[in-house]
Structure 1
Amino acid sequence: MGTQVKRIALSGYYGFGNSGDEAVLQSILFALRAEGERQGIRIEPVVLSIRPEETSRVYGVSAVHRMRLSDVKKALHECDGLISGGGSLLQDATGLKTIPYYLAILKLAQFYRKPTFIYAQGIGPVSRKLFYPFIRNVFNKCEYISVRDEESESLLGKMGIVKGRVEVVPDPVMGLPLKEGTVLSRQERPIVGVSVRFWNRDRSELDGLAESLRTIAEQRPVKIRFLPFHLPDDVEASRYVMDRIGTMPGMSDMDMIENAVHPQDMLAEVSGCDILLGMRLHSLIYAASQEVPLIGISYDPKIDQFLKRLGMKAAASTDGFDSRAFAEEAVRILDNREGWIDSKKDSIIRLKLQAQQPAEQIVSIVKSARS
């Protein structure tokens, strides 16, 4: 008898060029494959993507256009289950159409009587309570629900979803491995990785960060390396900060990595840093997963929620940026990298193990379901 094959559709913010969401996709694909092998079945993913040809080429999986209803219906009708996630899919901060779209995909799969799964999502913000009953209706018909923080669990509780049905797990990117054969080498000067995005209209947080980075570079020779996670916006934000820094003092210099498009390529870049200063959530998750000391800049509760799981708080926020204090914290960590790593190692190991739990549960359910 041949190996049992199960086809699982994946719905998320895939194909848009956002490194964080692409890392989520890659991490889920790795986790499903590993768990399928462990449980003795082969998982064949089909990804709903805005650029299906590119997604198929990059990840070696089947993909269909997420906005072509006929293709989506065919994929869901032929699959053995649908995963929605991870990332922040169910939120209305980016517009009124986001929540209805992802709920509609789940609802369509349920109409076809396919098991549906919520994979380590960050729920909210949902400022319009009119969405609550729709989310409750769809989620209560899901076979498995996992969220990436306690705040998401609490919000689902307010919507009427029983707490015992929701599992709190880390973001799946905590389980993303480096590419096989990746070789990391330490430089003579510490590499300060920086991940920024535009947020405040007056750019005050980026001005404050530029001042901090210049202060760090004045105190010791460093290479400041900008790592854009969302192209092309983060490239522009990085250039803005570089322009504000101006000429680097002493033996310090700076550069930017613009060609790390694949999630594991960016993961390798983060792994080579001595410290990571990040606004993007997944820049911080990448750093934690590779035991790279990190400092968070909060612009959204999801940053604070992740840092909390490491026993940390953001060193600055877009609401108030103390440049001097931020620079002092970065220098303090650079002076005691090993101490930071030792203090966080147990938490990081625990998060990595927990990140595999959704794949374990989903594969087990799909495996036992009737074909």
Structure 2
Amino acid sequence: MAENAHYPTRRIAVSGYYGFRNSGDEAVLRSILLALEEQGEAQGVRIEPVVLSADPAWTAKMYGVEAAPRMHPASLLRTLRSCDGLISGGGSLLQDATGAKTIPYYTGVIKLAQWLGKPTFIYSQGIGPVNRRWMDPLIAHVMKKSAYISVRDAESAALLARMGVPQDRIEVVPDPVMGLPLPADAAAASGAAAGRAEGGAAGGNAGDGVPVVGVSLRRWRPDGADLDRAADALAALAASRPVRLRFLPFHTPDDAETSRDVMKRLEGRLGAGSAAELAEPGDDPQRMLLEVSRCDILFGMRLHALIYAANRSVPMLGLSYDPKIDQFLARLELQAVGTTEKLDSGVFAAEAVALLDRRAEWQREHAAAIDGLRQQAQQPAQQIAKLLRQLNSR
């Protein structure tokens, strides 16, 4: 960056669900960091991120950035004081489905930055569900005092508006991961990734002509009935034609355990030429994106599995467990094939076969929408870089 030595430098803290090795959230972070670098260069400002992480050492090594503990008050205060602003996002940070502490934590970090006189930027967040109405003022207060607000869907914007946030201040943009590129060594990595899998080897080797069906499942219902239905649906597909079911664990170790559970339920139920296996892409989100790019179609329950598929124009079937799944699919004019409460195995198999048979047609039909989302994914970084460029030097 010697040629950019004249650029002003802005340190920016980045708050989110980072350092937990959840592939979707790590992909959000990678996407934000790459977009900030690109847009900072375009705007003539050098942006130095400081990521608030559950595992600062791992985050610093993974992304080559400075990182600080997200739950250590003194360190958090010191980090925010040393920065020129705070980015909160992306992902589903402001929701209470995962517990009553999530919203107070993330709004508390934003409020602390604001108390210190730092501009705050909301980066492509998914807002809600918010079932505890007493949390609405916490969210509305920090939003109104933020320099820039972007959310990843119209429903999030509408919820903020109902809380009293002026609608004309809210920008609706895609999830940052729509802009995530493949790793630079994608060609070499593709060959290596093809050989790293756990599970059945009855067919499904790269280049054998058997289509690859990516599968991303998570445990949701305590009784496991949703996984039973998913296994039935996959068995129906694998019995109707040869397929290679490649399970993709987006959140380790939980999703890997769930995948093995479903694979066990599939034992003895796959048709001739079909196979099931578990991918091991590691912690790098771009490696998981590469795995998804190698699939012919994808059956996804994790939101970011579906976003990865859209990023790489892979036809998808979504299984809904949360409104955010339906909201994302709607942006591509798609509907979920089923939910965690209802999934018809015959309908699933028929729709999957149809996608496999008309993959190129699906890609043509959705190309414009996908290209639009990819381009719009850069908007938050562009706006934030512009605002940081305008700040007076500390």
User: Could you tell me which residue of structure 1 aligns to residue 123 of structure 2?
Assistant: 119
User: Could you tell me which residue of structure 2 aligns to residue 45 of structure 1?
Assistant: 49
Q: Within 1, Cα distance between the matches of 2:344 and 2:351?
A: 11
Matched position secondary structure for 2:42 = helix
User: Could you tell me which residue of structure 2 aligns to residue 177 of structure 1?
Assistant: 181
Is 1:105 aligned to residue 109 of structure 2?
Answer: yes
> Of 9, 13, 18, which residue of structure 2 is paired with 1:5?
9
Is 1:236 aligned to residue 257 of structure 2?
Answer: yes
Q: Within 2, Cα distance between the matches of 1:205 and 1:315?
A: 13
Is 1:220 aligned to residue 224 of structure 2?
Answer: no
Q: Within 1, Cα distance between the matches of 2:312 and 2:17?
A: 24
Matches within 5 A, 1:251-270: 251-270=273-292
Matches within 5 A, 1:213-362: 213-247=234-268, 248-362=270-384
CA contact (8 A) 2:44 2:389 kept: no
Matched position secondary structure for 1:134 = helix
Q: Within 2, Cα distance between the matches of 1:175 and 1:19?
A: 15
Matched position secondary structure for 1:43 = strand
Q: Within 1, Cα distance between the matches of 2:138 and 2:73?
A: 21
CA contact (8 A) 2:281 2:291 kept: no
AA aligned to 1:322 is D
Which ranges of structure 1 fall in alignment gaps of 5 or more residues?
none
Matched position secondary structure for 1:350 = helix
User: Could you tell me which residue of structure 2 aligns to residue 73 of structure 1?
Assistant: 77
Greater shift in the superposed pair: 127-136 or 345-354: 127-136
Greater shift in the superposed pair: 200-209 or 281-290: 200-209
Q: Within 1, Cα distance between the matches of 2:92 and 2:377?
A: 16
TM-superposed CA distance for 1:3, in Å, is 2.2
TM-superposed CA distance for 1:323, in Å, is 1.0
User: Could you tell me which residue of structure 2 aligns to residue 160 of structure 1?
Assistant: 164
Which ranges of structure 2 fall in alignment gaps of 5 or more residues?
192-205
- Provide the alpha-carbon RMSD of the alignment: 1.1
Matched position secondary structure for 1:277 = strand
Is 1:204 aligned to residue 208 of structure 2?
Answer: no
Q: Within 2, Cα distance between the matches of 1:135 and 1:259?
A: 36
Q: TM-score, normalised by structure 2?
A: 0.92
AA aligned to 1:193 is G
Q: Within 2, Cα distance between the matches of 1:334 and 1:294?
A: 10
Greater shift in the superposed pair: 223-232 or 254-263: 254-263
Q: Within 2, Cα distance between the matches of 1:111 and 1:325?
A: 54
Is 1:192 aligned to residue 213 of structure 2?
Answer: yes
TM-superposed CA distance for 1:260, in Å, is 2.7
Matched position secondary structure for 2:89 = strand
Q: Within 1, Cα distance between the matches of 2:82 and 2:217?
A: 41
> Of 12, 21, 26, which residue of structure 1 is paired with 2:25?
21
TM-superposed CA distance for 1:109, in Å, is 0.6
TM-superposed CA distance for 1:201, in Å, is 2.0
> Of 88, 91, 109, which residue of structure 1 is paired with 2:92?
88
TM-superposed CA distance for 1:249, in Å, is 2.2
Deviations 1:205-235 (A, max 9, x none): 2111111211211222211100000111111
Matched position secondary structure for 1:321 = coil
Q: Within 1, Cα distance between the matches of 2:288 and 2:112?
A: 35
Greater shift in the superposed pair: 201-210 or 123-132: 201-210
CA contact (8 A) 2:318 2:325 kept: yes
AA aligned to 1:129 is R
TM-superposed CA distance for 1:258, in Å, is 2.7
Is 1:366 aligned to residue 370 of structure 2?
Answer: no
User: Could you tell me which residue of structure 2 aligns to residue 145 of structure 1?
Assistant: 149
CA contact (8 A) 2:243 2:273 kept: yes
Q: TM-score, normalised by structure 1?
A: 0.98
Q: Within 2, Cα distance between the matches of 1:132 and 1:254?
A: 45
Deviations 1:271-307 (A, max 9, x none): 0000000000000000000011111000000000000
